[in-house]
Amino acid sequence: MLTLTEAGVLIGRSRTTLYMQYRKGRLHAEKHGSVLLVRESEMRRYAREVMGKTGFASPLHPLHGTQAGGGKRKGKAAPVTPAA
């Protein structure tokens, strides 16, 4: 069994990130007193299944580099300068 800090060092994630993943139900851990402990087999599963997914920022994501409807804030328009 590993603490979240030890597990984070093992896979290159912070303790806070792993705690948030636990809260979201993506990482299974057991609470012993005030300490969360994660099984090594669970860390292998998490690394394989959850960390292997690509997010939008990844160049491997299918929408990366396409017009996804974002880019400009809604609300205030940019000031228009009169043509000379």
Let me know: does 3 contact 14? Beta carbons within 8 Å. Answer: no
- Residue 83 inside a domain? The answer is no
Confidence (pLDDT) at 36:
93
Round to whole Å and give the CA distance between 84 and 73: 28
- Residue 42 inside a domain? The answer is yes
- Residue 60 inside a domain? The answer is no
pLDDT in tens, 10-39: 888 899 999 999 999 989 999 999 999 999
Range of the domain at 31: 2-49
Structural domain count of the chain: 1
Average pLDDT over residues 47-61: 65
Judged against a pLDDT cut of 70, whether residue 76 lies above it is answered with no
Model pTM above 0.75: no
Residue 49's pLDDT band, with cuts at 50, 70 and 90, is confident
- Residue 64 inside a domain? The answer is no
- Residue 25 inside a domain? The answer is yes
- Residue 22 inside a domain? The answer is yes
Place of tokens 């087999």: 41
